[in-house]
Chain A
Amino acid sequence: MTKFALSPDREKHVEEILSRYPNRQAACIPVLHLCQEQNGWISDEVVEWVAARLDLSAAHVKGVVTFYTLFNKEPVGKHQVWVCRTLSCALRGADDILHHCEKRLGIHVGQTTKDGKVTLRTAECLASCGTAPMIQVDKDYYENLTTAEVDRILDRLIK
């Protein structure tokens, strides 16, 4: 089992995060985000590390990790492509966008391309209803999409 530890830069950030709250537990979600940024997913080693760093039980941290959609419980691709499929997007063609992504990437929702570059996922409402259909790629929103634009976005990720 490889031990996990945050890089010195991120460790400094933990101190700043702790200064915002009256107790250490409140830093749990922000610190998990930092860990995922470094590690790509939340492994049991990460859970142990966060628990020790914040004086929490591993069971508490694991409970938090499993509650929230954005914490990856297993390794994922280098890039995350989220296709919003909730009603406002669906009314403007989200299903077509999703099928197009599946075809282009040669994978189904929930899968990662063989080269490990892209994981395709569906999202529930991303608060971008007025500019539907839309997808989120890592931290960026792409809105008012057509399948041609989706091609351009995906091509940049897989080349």
Chain B
Amino acid sequence: MLRQTTYLTKRYGVPEGWTLPVYERDGGYQQAKRALSMPREALVDEMKAANIRGRGGAGFPMGVKWSFMPWPPKPEKPHYLVINADEGEPGTFKDRTIMELDPHAVVEGCIIGCFGIGAHAAYIYVRDELHLSKARLWGAIKEARAKGYLGAKPFGIDYPVEVYVHTGAGAYICGEETSLLNSLEGKRGEPRLKPPFPAQSGAFGMPTTVNNLETIAAVPVALAMGGDAFSKLSDLHDQKDGGCRLYGVSGHVNTPGVFEACVGLTLRELIYDLGGGVKGGELLGVIPGGSSCPILRPDEVVNAPDAKSPLHRWHGKNVLDVPMGVETYRALGTMLGTCCAIVLNKNTDIVLAMHNLMRFYRHESCGQCTPCREGSAWLFRILDRMVQGEATMEELDRLHEIADNIMGNTICAFGEGTAMPALGFLRKYRKEFEEHVRTKGKSGTGRLAL
């Protein structure tokens, strides 16, 4: 249900909203001060109760992740907090708004996070292109340090915390947490095999927690409200998917942008109420949470007769009316991802849309695993032929086969992130693809733009 909130976006649009005086006027840094005086266990319990599911796409419960850190920390094995702000998933543009408009929430979240996981240093990994984001974060760090909120004794409490901004150099794969860690360490951003997981061996071989930027920015709000109360903002509190979060909508809508609402918003509300409706015609499909999430069709109906299914409550309803949650969307066969939807209207050439995204994946595959490196290139080459009107039916079927052979055969989830949306396009728009091949491309509009 649509319930817009302003917990995370309160300072958006406020003059100088990114500066310390404005943040403190709203009670900023009170929660960090409080957290540093709490027993660690109580803080982690509070975060578990908040049911903040990772906002970077995987949806892992944040408090549980914090509790995976070895305890107590050993002096020879310092812990690290690493914040993933390598925002680059096509369709996703929410973390950038926080960094630009409310960087102090990130810094305060980092102080609380460091204490929660036993770390004394946090690295915020920001993609290099986001120059304003980096400047605003560094500015906030400088202001906080000048006030004594960071450094040897934050708020006069003997728990040193330093926060740094680290930048990449243009590689989507560095949003994958182990690749990000390699990049932080000054290496090529190639993903690592898991296990060991970052909680055992992460940054510099030390126990590390990697949290998404929006996730950490929500921490001060959740702590102020109390974990349970924060979680109950959500319609999906019973599925342990709590709080409020940022939603984005882009593509063929009248008012694209970032909006804050309680967890449990439906796609229909995101597209029509917040996004102002589909621009230039009816809805063809929607990619719900960044390009790695398989596309949904507006005529799909939920089939969940099993009472144990997280979708059972919406059995028989249209997919657009299912609350957007980690479990509900997984059960739908897609993913919640980053909650940033890409909307396609009826005039969109679906073959071109898939071609566009597969070009992206071919460009961004790190090249470490053969099925992904070769597979993403083969997918793109066949689609390129299809766009030129040269592909055969046999090649259309081969797309399925290639995608199937990427799945499960790679070190990181990039492989699935390529194959799953590819299969989504092919299965749900099979008729359109066949028609395209049969007519040598004449059945499509040949356009993506309005």
Chain A residues within CB distance 8 Å of chain B: 20-23, 25-30, 32-33, 54, 56, 60, 63-64, 67-71, 82, 85-88, 90-96, 123-132, 136, 139-141
Contacts and interface: CB of A to CB of B under 8 A. Distances in A.
B390 interface: no
B204 A127 contact: no
A109 to B, nearest CB: 13
B167 interface: yes
B364 A124 contact: yes
B169 A71 contact: yes
A12 B257 CA distance: 41
A126 B126 CA distance: 12
Contact of A87 (B166, B183, B187, B356): B356
B291 interface: yes
Interface of B: 78, 87-93, 95-96, 127-132, 162, 164, 166-172, 183-190, 204, 248-252, 256-258, 287, 291, 340, 342-344, 348, 353, 356-357, 360, 363-364, 366, 448-450
Given A23-B204, A69-B169, 10 more contacts: A21-B204, A28-B187, A33-B169, A54-B186, A64-B186, A68-B168, A68-B171, A87-B342, A91-B342, A91-B344
A71 to B, nearest CB: 6
B288 to A, nearest CB: 13
B127 A86 contact: no
B169 A68 contact: yes
Given A26-B185, A130-B248, A96 B449 contact: yes
A32 to B, nearest CB: 7
B172 A91 contact: no
A94 B366 CA distance: 25
A87 B448 contact: yes
A136 B250 contact: no
Nearest to B132: A141
A29 B186 contact: yes
Rank and list the top 5 A-B pairs by shortest CB-CB distance, nearest first: A28-B186, A69-B170, A68-B169, A70-B170, A129-B250
Contact of B183 (A29, A60, A124): A29
Contact of A124 (B189, B344, B363): B363
Contacts of A128: 93, 96
A130 B132 contact: no
B171 A129 contact: no
A129 B342 contact: yes
B169 A32 contact: yes
Given A90-B449, A91-B344, A96-B449, A127 B186 contact: no
Contact of B171 (A69, A131, A136): A69
